[in-house]
């Protein structure tokens, strides 16, 4: 089945994200431990699917640039700086805090913290940018979305995608602004790689900041 799906341009861009999202909804539903083991499971499974299908998604190629680095840092500042000024959605309890569950500074706690930083910094940018900026934004222009250049500026599609991206996060306002910034990078050169890099920089630095400051509500 996976080999036949790999030939479907929609499936290879949607299925990894859908799998990741489905497993996210199951986190915490099987006891508190499933918050952490569930994260590991979804990262490994969705990551394996992304990597197995990467040759079928030609736009999924990393690209570094100074604008990408700047946007990555800017989004981090927006994400953290705006937080006190608007209500987040879906937050409950003390957040995703392995130190609280496994014990302060226990090896398991640090294992899951490092895993989350790496997962959000390497796997999430690939599957989310492919789903949102490669598939969803272009699909609003045409069902035959692969015929639509990544540089084509469909403002309606970009706006809908940015809102969807924003409300997929508790920090919905920062998420919308984040989606706009990443979309600009895609339009800038008609490629996905800079947006993936910016997304990775944001997520890795945010993860480090969360672990350093104990700001677990962001996870």
Q: What is the pLDDT of residues 31-47, one digit of tens each?
A: 889 999 999 999 999 99
User: Strand, coil or helix: what is 29?
Assistant: strand
Residue 144 confidence (pLDDT) above 70: yes
Residue 94 confidence (pLDDT) above 70: no
Gap between the Cα atoms of 19 and 49, Å rounded: 9
Q: Identify the band that residue 208 occupies on the pLDDT scale cut at 50, 70 and 90.
A: very high
CA–centroid distance for 72 within its chain: 13
Confidence (pLDDT) at 72: 98
Confidence (pLDDT) at 2: 63
Q: Are 165 and 180 in contact (CB under 8 A)?
A: no
Look up tokens 């403002």; give the residue. Answer: 155
Residue 162: which of 183, 192, 185 has the closest Cα? 183
Q: Are 159 and 32 in contact (CB under 8 A)?
A: no
Q: Identify the band that residue 30 occupies on the pLDDT scale cut at 50, 70 and 90.
A: confident
Question: Dihedral through CA 200, CA 97, CA 218, CA 71, nearest 10?
Answer: -20
Residue 7 confidence (pLDDT) above 90: no
φ, ψ for residue 31, nearest 5 deg: 100, 160
Least confident of 91-95, 133-137, 197-201: 91-95
**When comparing pLDDT for 199 and 94, which is higher?**
199
Residue 177 confidence (pLDDT) above 70: yes
% the chain with pLDDT above 90 = 90
Gap between the Cα atoms of 167 and 169, Å rounded: 5
Q: Are 15 and 131 in contact (CB under 8 A)?
A: no
Least confident of 22-26, 67-71, 161-165: 22-26
User: Strand, coil or helix: what is 31?
Assistant: strand
User: pLDDT digit string (tens) for 57-67?
Assistant: 999 999 999 99
User: pLDDT digit string (tens) for 67-81?
Assistant: 999 999 999 999 999
Confidence (pLDDT) at 5: 76
Retrieve residue 135's tokens.
């598939």
Confidence (pLDDT) at 93: 66
**When comparing pLDDT for 17 and 90, which is higher?**
17
């Amino acid at each position: 089945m996976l080999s036949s799906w790999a030939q479907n341009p929609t499936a290879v861009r949607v299925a990894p994200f859908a799998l990741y999202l489905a497993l996210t909804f199951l986190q915490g539903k099987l006891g508190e431990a499933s918050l952490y083991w569930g994260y590991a499971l979804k990262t490994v499974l969705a990551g394996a699917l992304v990597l197995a299908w990467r040759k079928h998604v030609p736009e999924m190629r990393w690209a570094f640039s100074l604008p990408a680095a700047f946007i990555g840092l800017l989004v981090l500042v927006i994400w953290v700086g705006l937080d006190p000024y608007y209500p987040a959605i879906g937050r409950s309890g003390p957040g995703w805090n392995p130190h609280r569950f496994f014990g302060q500074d226990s090896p398991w706690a640090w294992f899951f913290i490092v895993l989350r930083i790496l997962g959000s910094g390497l796997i999430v940018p690939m599957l989310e940018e492919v789903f949102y900026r490669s598939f969803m934004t272009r699909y609003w222009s045409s069902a035959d979305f692969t015929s639509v250049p990544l540089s084509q500026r469909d403002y309606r599609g970009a706006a809908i995608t940015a809102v969807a991206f924003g409300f997929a996060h508790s920090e919905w306002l920062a998420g919308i602004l984040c989606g706009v910034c990443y979309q600009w990078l895609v339009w800038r050169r008609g490629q996905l790689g800079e947006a993936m890099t910016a997304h990775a920089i944001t997520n890795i630095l945010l993860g480090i900041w969360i672990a350093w400051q104990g700001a677990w509500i962001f996870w």
